[in-house]
Amino acid sequence: MNASALIAIDTNNPRAASSKRLALKDDGNVKPVLIYDGGSMVGKLTTDKKLSGSFAPVLMNQSHPTYGMSRNDLLARVLNARGQGNYEVQEFSGNEAADFGNEFEPTILRKAAERLGLDVDTEVSEVYHYGELFSVSLDGILKNTALALQAQDGIYLMNGAQTVILEGDGVLESKLTSAPFTEVPPPYRGPWQLQMQMMCYGAKWGVIATLYQGVRLVLNVYEADPGMQAQLIEAAEDFYDRLEGPDWYPAIDGADAARTWGRGEDDLPPVDLEPISETVMKYLDARRAAKAAEALAKALEPEIMSQMAVHEKAFLKDENGDTMVEISWPTRSFKAQPEKIVPAKPARFERQKSISVSAKWLGDDQ
């Protein structure tokens, strides 16, 4: 099970306003920002006041690189649920991929159990806890006493062995993806979640059953990993400590930074960047190199265009006759359009997703 949220901040709440979590509208109303990790909230049983299994990869800063939440997004979600911020939360209403995941989940769980030769409970309504740190729901529980399982096509033993003895019940997590098959699932598609589920249920083993591209079901069998579980505990303790304040995580990208510190205060003094001077100088070097490279490319471009003349495509081959590059200089066409009156837009504030540096600091003489 995955999760997502639509979170906004209210300027009337002192704690929320001081946190600068998200961009605000000029009229003081909330401006929602969508945060989606590629899943669905259908059937979600756990409370948002505690960390749940679906957010385990987020906690470990290994969520989906495109759709995943950041740890700051997760902090905001829990703050809201605990009443420590005035955040508006709207659940993700789903999309076609999420709908198929929910539709095929019973089949994936049943086929996985059949392949293992075990019975499975797919009607798990209980929420399992690990102290005050975690709460998880389970897609399925594999009923087992002792099972000698061999690695084979479609069953991968993640400890690297060819045979493993599995004792007691195991937890079963269903996944559906359009991504190509990989022997090792990425961290955001189950491994961290499964370890948290095993901790909460008390299982010694678990299975991620993934249906790849609708045609290939793969079972990844994991044993409880004390190292991974210790990392989860350490990350969770740090997470809950950060709720006071709140103490935001370092941003993972410009968009995360813009959401976390959504509106700057122009009356505050400049920040001395001496503590991260090495990072600043690397950034300036990169910007200067990019500026120089762009200037060189623009200077060379006219000669290439002159050689192409009225041709829209060109190429360059190496000494072996293999194509090294293909270049295109297309002609754009614009359809006639009637005159339009642009509707008025209300004033609003939105933090940039990148920082600006005056051109004088990027010159060749600097």
Dihedral, CA of residue 343, residue 348, residue 354 and residue 355, to nearest 10: 120
Q: Residue 86 CB: number of other CB atoms within 10 A?
A: 18
Tokens of 190: 């189950």
The whole-angstrom separation of Cα 348 and Cα 366 is: 36
Q: How far apart are CA 150 and CA 156, in angstroms?
A: 9
CB neighbours of residue 130 within 10 Å: 21
What is the torsional sign of CA 52, 127, 48, 210? positive
pLDDT of residue 22: 40
Three-state DSSP class for residue 192: helix
Q: Is 314 exposed, middle or buried (0-12, 13-18, 19+ CB in 10 A)?
A: middle
CA distance 247 to 337: 51
Sign of the Cα pseudo-torsion (42, 47, 49, 55, in order):
negative
Opening angle at CA 37, ends 36 and 39, nearest 5: 100
pLDDT of residue 12: 33
pLDDT computed for residue 353 by the predictor: 83
Tens of each residue's pLDDT in the chain, 366 residues = 433 333 333 333 322 333 444 433 333 333 333 333 333 344 557 788 899 999 999 999 999 988 888 999 899 889 988 988 764 333 455 567 677 878 899 999 999 999 999 999 999 999 999 999 999 999 999 999 999 999 999 999 999 999 999 999 999 999 999 999 999 999 999 999 999 999 999 999 999 999 999 999 999 999 999 999 999 999 999 999 999 889 999 999 998 888 888 788 889 999 999 999 999 999 999 999 999 999 999 999 999 999 999 999 999 999 999 999 999 999 999 899 999 888 888 988 777 888 888 888 887 554
* 8 A C-beta contact, residue 26 and residue 38: no
- State the DSSP code for 180: P
pLDDT at 226: 97
Residues 6 or more apart in contact with residue 247 via CB below 8 angstroms? 241
- Predicted pLDDT at 93: 52
Q: What are the angstrom distances between the C-alpha of 342 and each of 17, 168, 337, 345?
A: 32, 66, 14, 9
Report pLDDT for 14.
28
Q: Which CATH class is domain 99-224?
A: alpha beta
Spatial separation of the C-alpha atoms in residues 296 and 213, rounded to whole Å: 44
Question: What is the predicted pLDDT for the residue at 342?
Answer: 87
Neighbours of 157 (CB within 10 A): 19
Helix axis angle, 226-242 to 191-201, nearest 10°: 90
Contacts of 185 (CB under 8 A, 6+ apart): 175, 191, 208, 210, 220
Structure tokens at 62: 């290994």
Residues whose CB falls within 8 Å of the CB of residue 268, separated by 6 or more in sequence, listed in order: none
Q: Report the alpha-carbon distance of residue 23 to residue 122 in Å, rounded.
A: 42
Task: Please report the sign of the dihedral spanned by the C-alpha atoms of residue 113, residue 114, residue 120, residue 124.
Answer: positive
